[in-house]
Structures are given as C-alpha cells and as structure tokens.
Amino acid sequence: MVAEGKEQVKEEREKFSIVLFSGDYDRAMAAFILATTAAAENMDVAIFFTFWGLNFLKKGKFALNSKQSLPQKLLNIMNRKADRLSRFNMGGLGISMMKYLMKKNKVPTVDELMKMAKAMGVKFIACTTTLKVMGLEKENFSDIVDEFAGAATFLERAKNSKITLFI
Amino acid sequence: MEELETLVEKTLDCTGLVCPMPIIKAKQEIETVPSGKILKIIADDPGFEPDVKAWCKASGLELLKLEKRDNRFVAWVRKP
C-alpha cells in the first residue's frame, strides 16, 4: 500500500467531472459532498453548472440585468437562488424541514459545502449557452465561478476523467 | 500500542461530525503532519469506518490501526 501511494503522488491527479443540471437542493448536496470528498482524496475536480444548476452560482436574489427581455426576466425571477427539494418540497415546507434535520445532524449546508469545495481547489464552470438562453451576464454570477465555457470544454475534461457524473 | 502513540503528531476529534466532514478535516490536518508521523482521528459517524480505509487507500496513506471503542472509531494514519 505504501509503494502504491508513492507512485500515485508522482503521477497526475485523477480527474472527476460533474455536470450539475439540477437546481434542487438535495441533488446539489450530493454533488458537493462527492466533489469535496474527492478533493480530499487529491482528485482534480470540476463541476460544470448548466440549466437549473446555474441557480447555485447566482449573485443576489434575482440575477436580473438591463439587457433581459420580459420572458427572461420572468424566468430569472421564478428561478431565484435554488432552495427547493426535488421531492416533497410542499411549497417550501419540505426544504425547511430538511434544513432543520440537516442542522440538527450537523450536516453542512450547500453554501458551506460550496465554500469548502472552492477552498479545496474544485473548479466551478458555468455553461455559456444557458447564460445566453436565460439572458444572464457574467455580472450576475458570484466570484466563485472560475470559468465560463461550453460543452466542448466539458467533454474534453470528461474524456480524460476517471469519474464523470450527471446530477 | 505505546510505539504508535509516540509517533502521533496530532489528534483530530471529529465526534459529532458526519460525512463528509471527518474526511475533509482529516485531509486538512494530514497536510500539516510531517512524513513518518501519525494523525490520530476520532469519529463516531458509522460511515467513518469504511470511509477512512477508502480515503487512505486513495490518498496513499497508511492506515496503521483502526479501533472501535463503544460507538467511536479511532484511526491511526501515517503519512509515508
């Protein structure tokens, strides 16, 4: 086991690529727990945020800007910072209960996990096409975003990744 | 047993913390442990038992000993 370890350190780190398509709080938990744990094992982790996944990267409540059309404005108002469960959200009751249970069990929140992931070197990549469709500008996103890129960028990484997941 | 204790550089108590926190904290602490020395980790999360084995294997660390005391686990991890 020791010999293996020494060889691993010299080689390039294994890559882990995640697509976060979902804007659901519970799915994001899974994504960030996997990302931080992989980073704790020295993996090279990147998360590609697309569609509803972008909700976790938005700065401010509504991510509005002056260039948006009315449908785009409506879309962004309806999709403000992600705070819903994929099941049993019950108009917000579900997510409140879940957050209470998590707090009681000392499980970190999505915000905490995102900060930890960033501190551990996990790359945050935002999908440019979704930006365009939803009328979002770079200014609508928090500093946590490392890069704005497209599918080809993600695929290049995914091809060379040991683990690739779609969440 | 006594030999192990003399090589312990740091003890990390993760009692009350659940996955992924014990492993994330362990990673942070092991960075500060010099080569050849041991990080002693205490946790009560049931997931810790398999997780610490997997983490050591993936990170190239030596899990010298893993003890279960009541509902707590104690792991002695050496940095090669």
Q: Are A46 and A125 spatial neighbours (Cβ–Cβ below 8 Å)?
A: yes
| Burial state string for B23-38 with b = 16 or more CB within 10 A and e = fewer than 16 | bbbbbebbeebeeebb
- The question of ipTM being above 0.90 is answered as no
Mark the ranges of chain A whose per-residue pLDDT is less than 70. Answer: 1-11, 81-82
d(CA A47, CA A18): 5
pLDDT at A11: 62
Q: Do B60 and A8 touch (CB under 8 A)?
A: yes
pLDDT in tens, B56-77: 998 999 999 999 998 899 999 9
Q: Do A37 and B20 touch (CB under 8 A)?
A: yes
Q: Are strands B62-69 and A163-166 parallel, antiparallel or unpaired?
A: unpaired
Q: Do B20 and A106 touch (CB under 8 A)?
A: no
Nearest neighbour of A5 by CB, restricted to B18, B54, B80:
B80
pLDDT in tens, B7-43: 899 999 999 999 899 999 999 999 999 999 999 999 9
Catalytic residue annotation of B: 19
d(CA A99, CA A105): 10
